[in-house]
Structure 1
Amino acid sequence: MIVVTGATGGLGSATVENLLTRVPADRIGVSVREVAGAQHFADRGVRVRQGSYEDPAALRDAFAGADQVLLVSGNDPAADLVGLHRNAIEAAVAAGAQRIVYTSQQGAVPGNPYRPSEFHIATETVLAESGVAWTALRNGAYGPLDQVLGPWQQTGEIARPQDGPVPYTDRADVAEATAIILAGDRSFEGPITLSAPTAVTFDDLAAIASDLTGRTIERTVLDDEQWVADQITAGVPEQAARLMLSWYEASRAGYFAAADPLLAELLGREPRSAADRLAAGIA
């Protein structure tokens, strides 16, 4: 059995949907905070059990019978994410899982200034010490492009701090590849990178957006501290603004620059590019 955590979230839910096209429903289980939120999976034959990273006993029950567990990483910067992930890893080991697959982050290496890198690196260390086989999916940035670029369609400019090349990746492609890995016969040991095949900068995206819209979309580089101040003025908590600033710092230092061909290999086709996603957003 394959058990997926976070199955009512964006990535977890999409992964389960892809699994349902590849394996029988009775070979899939989900561990969710609120069972009612996964009723649509239960109705299709998926085993649904309550489990949260804060409750190791419930996790052991949710993971019972699992050959593989997909551990979708937490994202609350105020939480002890490494401790919560350790709970889940220990519960999976106790339940007899043969492999744990963890959703990590591209560039999860020492020295990366992007702060979530720290808990991903620590979680990968816990996995390496767990005694079971593990795979860390170092996923390329797959958030909505409008969140990354800001309201460029209204303003005609991408006004953000200095950035660097990033292979912006489509979440649907990551979910499909994750399901392929979970359902397939090929094993991946340790960390692997799933990313779009090409890394682009905001300068590149401004040029692409200009071509797509027939307008001149400018790229304006903002001072780091001024951008943080503007975010705070707009109502963003300072901690959240500085967390995002650390992402810009990491991108311009090259920590996300290396695109990897594995995602395309797994999908058997070219993943959606940033240009594809911009075009879809405009349409």
Structure 2
Amino acid sequence: MNKILITGATGHIGNRVAHLLKQDTSIRLMTRTPEKLSGFGQAEKIQAEYGDKASLTAAFKDIDTAFIVSGYAAPGQRALLHKNAIDSAQQAGVSHIVYLSFQGASAQSKFPMSRDHFQTEEFIRQSGLACTILRDSFYMDLIPEMFGENRLMRGPGGDGKVAWVAREDVARTIAAVLSNPSAYPGTFNLTGREALSLTETAGRLSKLTGKKYTYQQESVEEGMLWRNQLGAPAWEVDTWIGSYVAIAAGEVASVSKAVYEITHQHPFTLEEYVSQHPEIFHP
């Protein structure tokens, strides 16, 4: 039996994956808040977090395949939290790790989180464990949030394009890989069916909703100035700006067929997603 661990089981991705595999009695759901998983009667639930190595030892015990979702912390610290999970998997004798990384992950990425994801990927490779690295693009359902209440997105994204992907497509792909991990060794980009510039994205939303959406190009300095006035930590500001600079550099522009090749279902287009999920405009 393939005993599967799903980390971040109450999070946006982990919870979707858990629902897709909820009929499988061989899953263990890891979260800091197991009381939120009352809808998973048959699944084993365990309280653990990346910063608590003792809890990770129990979480990874007797696991064959582990899905490791990224945690939340400043770049560098985040990769070390992931390393705690990887080390625990290695010590527990896990056979296969499935890690959710990010498109364009590299040591030279303009996006701090992508550099962090690449460091995590290196930790996994150094562990010697069999692995599947799934690098998703920016999430389609976050687009309205990026425009905000005024339907205006500002950032140094230039004419760079984004191969937006729906969280549902990412979760379906993860679930398929977890069910048969040995069939999918290596690294896969998870994207939608097309890449759109931020201006094109605004235009599509305007057409879909009948309301005016606008993308406004700004310099890095301009973006840093107003974001630093929001009271967020400096590393979050660097991350916000870095995401746009990475878009401008083309780091998330390439379109992959991996979602279809793994799930045998085409990923959502923006039009299809908005049609089926109008709630994204009212979070």
Give the conservation status (yes or no) of the 8 Å contact 1:137–1:193: yes
Letter in 2 for 1:259: V
* 1:4-23 matches, cutoff 5 A: 4-21=6-23
Give the conservation status (yes or no) of the 8 Å contact 1:228–1:238: no
Which residue in 1 is equivalent to 2:35? Answer: 36
1:87 aligned onto 2:81: no
* 1:121-160 matches, cutoff 5 A: 121-142=118-139, 144-153=142-151, 157-160=152-155
What is the rounded CA distance, in whole Å, between the counterparts of 2:222 and 2:16 in structure 1?
38
Count of residue correspondences: 275
**1:152 offset after TM fit, Å?**
4.7
**Structure 1 SS opposite 2:30:** strand
**1:96 offset after TM fit, Å?**
1.6
Q: In structure 2, which of residues 147, 161, 169 is the aligned counterpart of residue 165 of structure 1?
A: 161
Which residue in 2 is equivalent to 1:182? Answer: 178
Letter in 2 for 1:75: Y
Q: In structure 2, which of residues 185, 202, 209 is the aligned counterpart of residue 206 of structure 1?
A: 202
* 1:185 to 1:113, Cα distance in 2 relative to 1, 3 A: closer
* 1:50 to 1:219, Cα distance in 2 relative to 1, 3 A: closer
Give the conservation status (yes or no) of the 8 Å contact 1:166–1:256: yes
1:239 aligned onto 2:235: yes
**Structure 2 SS opposite 1:144:** helix
* 1:224 to 1:59, Cα distance in 2 relative to 1, 3 A: same
What is the rounded CA distance, in whole Å, between the counterparts of 1:162 and 1:122 in structure 2?
24
Give the conservation status (yes or no) of the 8 Å contact 2:146–2:153: no
Give the conservation status (yes or no) of the 8 Å contact 1:197–1:264: no
* 1:226 to 1:126, Cα distance in 2 relative to 1, 3 A: same
What is the rounded CA distance, in whole Å, between the counterparts of 1:57 and 1:12 in structure 2?
21
Give the conservation status (yes or no) of the 8 Å contact 2:105–2:118: yes
Q: Please, what TM-score do these two structures have when normalized by structure 1? A: 0.88
**1:237 offset after TM fit, Å?**
4.3
**Mind listing any 5+ residue stretches in structure 1 that lack a counterpart?**
none
What is the rounded CA distance, in whole Å, between the counterparts of 1:147 and 1:282 in structure 2?
8
Which residue in 1 is equivalent to 2:62? Answer: 65
Letter in 2 for 1:63: F
What is the rounded CA distance, in whole Å, between the counterparts of 2:232 and 2:207 in structure 1?
32
- Alignment deviations for residues 178-235 of structure 1 (CA, whole Å, 9 cap, x no partner): 1011113652223211111211111111221232244554432223322322223344
**1:75 offset after TM fit, Å?**
2.1
Letter in 1 for 2:137: G
**Structure 1 SS opposite 2:196:** coil
What is the rounded CA distance, in whole Å, between the counterparts of 1:150 and 1:58 in structure 2?
38
**Structure 2 SS opposite 1:136:** strand
**Structure 1 SS opposite 2:163:** coil
**1:64 offset after TM fit, Å?**
1.6
Give the conservation status (yes or no) of the 8 Å contact 1:150–1:159: no
**Mind listing any 5+ residue stretches in structure 2 that lack a counterpart?**
none
**1:119 offset after TM fit, Å?**
1.6
1:262 aligned onto 2:258: yes
Give the conservation status (yes or no) of the 8 Å contact 2:157–2:246: no
What is the rounded CA distance, in whole Å, between the counterparts of 1:29 and 1:215 in structure 2?
44
Give the conservation status (yes or no) of the 8 Å contact 2:74–2:235: no
Which residue in 2 is equivalent to 1:276? Answer: 272
**1:277 offset after TM fit, Å?**
3.5
Q: CA RMSD in A?
A: 2.2
* 1:230 to 1:109, Cα distance in 2 relative to 1, 3 A: same
* 1:192 to 1:61, Cα distance in 2 relative to 1, 3 A: same
